């Protein structure tokens, strides 16, 4: 094997491992319609049910995970909801937006400090909401 072939194989294996890691991030949970993916600040997905149902599930997950609920908001006659909480130094926000299909677009944002996002924690929270 030449040096160039070794580099190409190594690059190919790295790409395969990277892509399989990305695929794992988009694995569907039970209540997720299209899977869960990382977003710029956390994790997002489309879940079965309206915003009221998803909000109730998110509140259960907050309680189960020890996230203290700090605020809630409802806009557009319940079509958009936000649930905020805190655990330790981490602030967690669940943003829900009703879709015409009867599903809810959800983004979970987990922030440590002012600019550090914890996308893995956000994905874990969203996966648990989808399983409820």
Q: How much is the pLDDT for 129?
A: 95
State what percent of residues in the chain have pLDDT above 90: 66
Name the average pLDDT for the chain. Answer: 82
The whole model's pTM is what? 0.75
- What are the domain boundaries of the chain? 29-131
Q: So what's the pLDDT on residue 113?
A: 84
**The domain 29-131: what is its CATH number?**
3.30.310.80
- 29-77 pLDDT tens trace: 445 566 899 999 999 999 999 999 999 999 999 999 999 999 999 999 9
pLDDT at 8: 46
Structure tokens that stand for 92 in this block: 């967690």
Residues with Cβ within 8 Å of residue 29, at least 6 apart in sequence: 35, 36, 45, 126, 127, 130, 131
User: Rounded to whole angstroms, how far apart are CA atoms 18 and 128?
Assistant: 24
Residue 98 has pLDDT above 60, yes or no: yes
**pLDDT recorded at residue 114:** 82
């Amino acid at each position: 094997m030449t040096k160039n072939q070794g580099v190409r194989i190594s690059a190919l294996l790295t790409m395969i491992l990277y892509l399989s890691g990305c695929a794992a991030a988009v694995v569907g949970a039970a209540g997720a319609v299209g899977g869960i993916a990382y977003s710029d600040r956390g994790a997002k997905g489309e879940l079965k049910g309206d915003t009221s149902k998803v909000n109730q599930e998110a509140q259960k997950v907050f309680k189960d995970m020890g996230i203290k609920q700090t605020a809630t908001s409802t806009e557009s006659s319940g079509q958009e909801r936000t649930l905020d909480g805190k655990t330790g130094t981490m602030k967690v926000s669940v943003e829900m937006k009703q879709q015409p299909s009867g599903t809810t677009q959800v983004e979970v944002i987990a922030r440590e400090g002012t600019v550090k996002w914890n996308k893995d924690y956000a994905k874990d929270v969203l996966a648990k909401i989808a399983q409820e």
